[in-house]
Amino acid sequence: MKRSDFPIFQSIPQLNYLDSGATALKPQAVIESLTHYYRDCSSNIHRGLYPISIQASLAYEGARHTVATFIHAADDKEIIFTKGASEGLNLLASSLGKDIHQHDEIICTILEHHSNFVPWQELAARTGASFVVITPTTDIVSFCKTHLTSRTKIVTFPYVSNVTGEVLPVKKLIQQVRKINPLAVCIVDASQAVAHMPVDVQDLDCDYLVFSGHKLYGPTGIGVLYGKQDRLRALPPYQFGGDMIHSVSLEKTSYADIPNKFEAGTPPIGEAIGLAEAIRYVLSVGFDAIAQHDHLLLTHFEKAMHKSIPQLQILQPLFGGPKTSVASFTVPHVHPHDMADLLGQKDICVRAGHHCAQPLHTYLKIPASCRVSFGVYNNTFDIDSFADVLSSICQSFL
Amino acid sequence: MNAYTDEIMDHYRHPRNSKFDPRVAYNSTSDMDNPSCGDQIQVKALVLDGYIKDIAFEEIGCALSTASASMLSEMVKGKSVEEVRRMTSDDVVKLLAISISPVRLKCALMPLEAIQKAISSH
């Protein structure tokens, strides 16, 4: 579909990259925007009274505006640049944690990536709060009906699972949470969603939402924490230092308004500018085209697997949601690491292991799985050649 | 270079010493796992007078770790505890006779670590 936009295919023409769920490849426009910042206006932002600093500051704040528009935030101030989704979630666990006590309750799902699991588990251990993990014993919306209480302080879930690829009914879930406990904080990990579907934070009515830039065809080292203005203003800072202050005296420090309050130190300026370029790239392809493309690839993948490797088992959605651009699977008698290693020798890039979702693999009673995940550059030929090679690997293990 | 040589695949398909013998009075055991890939191994050894008289393992793992456990179990049987304790990753790579990527080295080395842990009290 858009293979020629990605210069890595000029360097490695035979590359069959099926690991976009881990990180997406970078289009030329993103690479150029990074080069432009580092080559033409490399300078620190905010207080430089000279042209290149003013240019960099405008570009950095422009990137914030691009992100705000992209996820339909009500105001640019609601966008905090982080180094990635993990940092956003750690920021939340740390700062929200100051108001978490014994007898409070934190809820997440069994689908969680470790980055949206471990910070909350740690917070619960530190404070004596309960840590409740939703498993699919019932449908997920009814779970909220039966398990949410007035003690529930935080509810967090992924928009899209990085293992099963299922899309959770985030809007419905949040509506349900609001009905039962309007004070509970709702957090969405949108890391696997942002490159595949439009995200509208006001429509979802989430309090916070995080994602990483590099899974969205952007640079590494940049991520986004969205928060509703009143929530962010009430939240204590996470890190302290330059740029996050209003005024500092020997006696005390007062903090800057959002978003600066949460951006201590020099931020990843070039990376924020690169992320904005990545967003423009994704929007130029268009989410309708991306959704069609994802559907075509996933359907083709399932058919190809069924035909070439009938014993292959795809991990199905736990909560019954629709699937997007990720599929994980196991093959009896072939360890996922052996598959991934042998595929890798043919420049076919897949991931093997627990994909930072060990609780989910334990729940499914499998030690590990193999995962393919698609990007805009993939085509059905990639899947066919993957199927051919995997089929011969499985044969050799018989 | 292909790590899946005929010898590796033979040891993977038919791992040697891969069943604990109920008639052997093993006096040294260890368990190890590698959560990142889900591999698990249990080693049992019979150590007498500073020598490994018998050894067996049971494992859930990939081809490389299973073959490594199988080949190592054959190699260390009869060797002194001292000698096995001194074995390094280089010895395992030499034994497997393949080139191993840094990511897979962990798979290949877990059996040696488990054996060394089992005999550590001797």
% of chain B at pLDDT higher than 90: 81
CB contact under 8 A, B37 and A368: yes
A125 exposure class (CB count in 10 Å sphere: 0-12, 13-18, 19+): exposed
Summarised one tens digit per residue, pLDDT across range A329-347 is 999 999 999 999 999 999 9
Give the pLDDT band of residue A359 (cuts 50, 70, 90): very high
CA-based nearest residue in chain B for residue A393: B4
Going by pLDDT thresholds of 50, 70 and 90, the confidence category of residue A164 is very high
pLDDT at residue A138, rounded to an integer: 63
pLDDT at A321: 87
Q: Is B52 a residue whose pLDDT tops 80? A: yes
pLDDT of residue A136: 81
Arithmetic mean of pLDDT over chain A: 95
Residue from B1, B2, B4 whose CB has the most chain A CBs within 10 Å, to mutate: B4
Half-sphere exposure (Cβ direction) of B112: Cα atoms closer than 13 Å = 23
Contact assignment for A361 to B38 by CB distance below 8 Å: yes
Q: What is the DSSP letter of A215?
A: G
Query: How far apart are the CA of A194 and the nearest CA of chain B, in angstroms?
Result: 27
Cis peptide bond prior to A267, omega within 30° of 0:
no
Q: Which residues of B fall below an 8 Å CB-CB distance to A?
A: 2-4, 9, 35-40, 60-64, 101, 104, 107
Cα–Cα distance for residue pair A371/B2, rounded to 1 Å = 22
To the nearest whole percent, how much of chain A has pLDDT over 70?
99
What's the gap in Å between the CA of B53 and the closest CA on chain A?
A: 31
CA distances from A36 to A31, A44, A108 (A): 9, 15, 41
Residue A47 pLDDT: 82
Contacts of A179 (CB under 8 A, 6+ apart): none
Would the CB atoms of B36 and A397 count as touching at under 8 Å? no
Give the nearest partner residue to A337 out of B9, B37, B40, using CB atoms.
B37
By C-alpha distance, the chain B residue nearest A345 is: B2
Of the segments A140-144, A388-392, B32-36, which one has the largest average pLDDT value? A388-392
Amino acid at B100: I
Question: b/e per residue, B66-89, with b = 16+ CB within 10 A?
Answer: bbbbbbbbebbbeebbeebeebee
Angstrom distance (rounded) from CA B24 to CA B45: 9
**Interface residues from chain A to B (CB-CB < 8 Å):** 335-338, 341-342, 345, 352-354, 358, 361, 366-368, 396-397
B63 neighbors B8 (Cβ within 8 angstroms): yes
Looking at residue A146, what is its pLDDT? 77
The answer to whether A96 and A338 have CB atoms below 8 angstroms apart is no
Token reading at B92:
């395992």
Whether pLDDT at A295 is above 60:
yes
B-interface mutation test, from A114, A331, A338, most B Cβ less than 10 A away: A338
The answer to whether B35 contacts A358, with C-beta atoms less than 8 Å apart, is: yes
Residue A358 amino acid letter = Q
- Per-residue pLDDT tens for B1-49? 478 999 999 999 999 999 999 999 999 999 999 887 778 999 999 999 9
A237: DSSP letter = P
- Active-site positions of A? 356
Q: Give the residue-averaged pLDDT of A187-206.
A: 98
Q: State the average pLDDT over residues A349-365.
A: 94
Put simply, the answer to whether A335 touches B62 (Cβ < 8 Å) is: yes
| Residues of B with Cβ-Cβ distance to A345 under 8 angstroms | 2
pLDDT tens digits for range A65-92: 999 999 999 999 999 999 999 999 999 9
pLDDT score at B1: 46
Which phi and psi (to 5°) does residue B32 adopt?
-140, 155
| Distance (Å, whole) CA A295 – CA A301 | 10
Which residues from B are below 8 Å from A332, CB to CB?
Answer: none
Query: What tokens does A81 get?
Result: 């640049």
| Residue numbers in A near B38 (CB within 8 A) | 353-354, 361, 366-368
Which residue reads 């989430």 in tokens? A206
